[in-house]
């Protein structure tokens, strides 16, 4: 009886570890897959990659919005901070830059309502040296994703904002 | 069977059962949890305050979702009568002024991606249905294009759900989701009656 109780306790304990372990691991695992896809298996790190217009065939990340134009920068801060900027869209259309840590948390979101002349910030780990007088976003992880979202519900608007976003930058501090 | 082997077997079985229950708990997609007039939405989506289960659920079915300061997401897979949304039915979605700079409604298939149709109408948004952002508006969810109305195609969507995005929501909306006048989803007809 005593042994059966011990085995039951072992089963329940292992079950809790398995449950919590999987739940904790899933965000990191899926984020890793997304970073790999968005960076072309690591070929494009610390630079923006400009996505095509969202269609039924857009399958890199779940639940894309067909009304938005997306550009992504997979970042790696292990060698130092990045300077990130996004130019405004024509007619002050919606633009946001959002920063996601390796555990999927959205640690910052800046938009052109706050910054109508364009968004600009330094992305750094805590303790890294950054220039004075510039907005700083601190990432809790070396790696993550920056997303540029722009309102572009039609092909015509997509073409317009695509031109504007080519001025975006995501690069090591010079 | 030796006692050691039994112990290892119980340990492995527990880990597998626990992991399976963890995976099962993440399979409700974006529907479930807090609901507001039939729409599900979480105040901690994308937030650093999200609990591990919410974070994992969003990673599975809404990776890279913004926190509520930038966007609020609501999803549903039923109409206002509580019946499951069906690909072969037509629904009218109606609403009024929404407390955000811009909104959209998008159809997603059960795999959390856009339906594999070529209608070029995977969503409708404020610029299409409510250009002034204030007036009452309506749109149609159906497998065939309606005449002269905002439309999101459900062709090849299977057991689909819809997501309402509210971009740059007002402070009041962020503070109290129950204050948001949520759109209604009314079934018109089914089975090709359109």
* Whether B114 and A20 lie within 8 Å, measured CB to CB: no
Say yes or no for a CB contact (<8 Å) between B64 and A113: no
Instruction: Identify the pLDDT of residue A1.
Output: 64
What's chain B's length in residues? 194
A75 bridge partner residues = A144
CB nearest B23 (choices: A12, A22, A106): A22
Q: Which residue has the higher pLDDT, B46 or A44?
A: A44
Contact A117, A64 (CB under 8 A): no
**Pairwise CB contact (< 8 Å): B14 & A54:** no
Average pLDDT over residues B126-130: 87
B24 touches chain A (CB under 8 A): no
CA neighbours closer than 13 Å in the CB half-sphere of residue B69: 13
Residue A61 has pLDDT above 60, yes or no: yes
Mean pLDDT in chain A?
A: 93
Compare CB distances from B62 to A20, A56, A63 and report the shortest one's residue.
A63
DSSP E strands in chain B: the ranges are 35-36, 39-40, 71-76, 89-95, 100-108, 123-125, 137-142, 150-153, 161-169, 184-190
Q: Could you tell me what percent of chain B has a pLDDT over 70? A: 95
Burial of B146 by CB count in 10 Å (0-12 exposed, 13-18 middle, 19+ buried)?
middle
- Please tell me the total number of residues recorded for chain A in this structure: 174
The answer to whether the Cβ–Cβ distance between A56 and B25 falls below 8 Å is no
φ/ψ of residue A34, rounded to 5: -65, -40
Q: Is the pLDDT of residue B133 over 90?
A: no
pLDDT confidence of residue B164: 96
pLDDT for residue B194: 47
Mean pLDDT (chain B, rounded)? 89
DSSP 8-state assignment for residue B59:
H
Q: Which residue has the higher pLDDT, B48 or A158?
A: A158
pLDDT greater than 70 at residue B28: no
**Domain locations along chain B:** 3-190
Domain ranges of chain A: 48-172
Specify the pLDDT at position B1. 62
Q: pTM (2 decimals)?
A: 0.85
Residue B32 has a pLDDT of 64
The predicted-structure confidence for A134-166, as pLDDT tens digits, reads as follows: 999 999 999 999 999 999 988 999 999 999 999
**Domain with residues A48-172, CATH architecture:** Sandwich (2.60)
DSSP state of A47: S
DSSP symbol at B78: B
Mean local confidence (pLDDT), A83-96: 91
H helices of chain A, where? 2-38, 155-165
B139-174 pLDDT, tens digit each? 999 999 999 899 999 999 999 999 999 999 999 999
Q: Does the distance separating the beta carbons of B10 and A23 come in below 8 Å?
A: no
- For B102, the enclosing helix (H) or strand (E) is strand B100-108
Q: What percent of chain A has pLDDT over 90?
A: 81
From chain A, the residues in CB contact with B162 under 8 A are none
The pLDDT tens digits of the residues spanning B61-89 come to: 778 888 898 999 999 999 999 999 999 99
Class of domain B3-190: mainly beta
**B58 close to A (CB below 8 A):** yes
Mean pLDDT for the stretch of residues A46-73: 92
């Amino acid at each position: 009886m005593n042994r059966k109780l011990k085995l039951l306790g072992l089963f329940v304990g292992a079950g809790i570890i398995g449950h919590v372990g999987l739940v904790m691991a899933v965000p990191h695992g899926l984020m890793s897959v997304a970073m790999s896809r968005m960076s072309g298996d690591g070929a494009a790190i610390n630079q923006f990659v400009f996505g095509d217009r969202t269609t039924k065939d857009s399958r890199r990340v779940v639940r894309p919005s067909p009304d938005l134009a997306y550009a992504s920068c997979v970042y790696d801060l292990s060698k130092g901070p990045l300077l990130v900027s996004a130019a405004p869209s024509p007619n002050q259309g919606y633009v946001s830059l959002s920063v996601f840590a390796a555990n999927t948390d959205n640690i910052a979101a800046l938009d052109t309502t706050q910054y109508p002349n364009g968004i600009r910030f330094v992305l750094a780990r805590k303790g890294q040296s950054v220039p004075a007088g510039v907005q700083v976003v601190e990432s809790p992880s070396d790696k993550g994703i920056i997303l540029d979202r722009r309102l572009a519900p039609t092909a015509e608007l997509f073409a317009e904002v695509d031109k504007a976003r080519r001025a975006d930058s995501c690069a090591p501090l010079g | 069977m030796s006692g050691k082997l039994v112990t290892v077997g119980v340990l492995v079985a527990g880990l597998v059962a626990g992991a399976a229950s963890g995976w099962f708990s993440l399979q409700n997609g974006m529907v479930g949890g807090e609901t507001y007039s039939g729409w599900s939405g979480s105040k901690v989506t994308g937030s650093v305050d999200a609990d591990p289960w919410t974070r994992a659920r969003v990673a599975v079915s809404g990776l890279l979702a913004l926190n509520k300061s930038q966007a609020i997401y609501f999803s549903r897979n039923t109409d206002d009568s509580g019946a499951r949304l069906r690909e072969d039915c037509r629904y009218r979605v109606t609403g009024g002024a929404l407390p955000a700079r811009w909104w959209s409604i998008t159809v997603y298939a059960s795999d959390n991606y856009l339906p594999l149709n070529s209608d070029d109408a995977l969503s409708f948004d404020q610029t299409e249905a409510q250009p002034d952002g204030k007036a009452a508006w309506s749109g149609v969810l159906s497998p065939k294009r309606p005449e002269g109305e905002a439309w999101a195609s459900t062709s090849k969507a299977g057991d689909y759900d819809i997501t309402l995005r509210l971009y740059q929501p007002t402070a009041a909306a962020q503070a109290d989701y129950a204050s948001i006048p949520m759109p209604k989803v009314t079934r018109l007809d089914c089975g090709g009656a359109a």
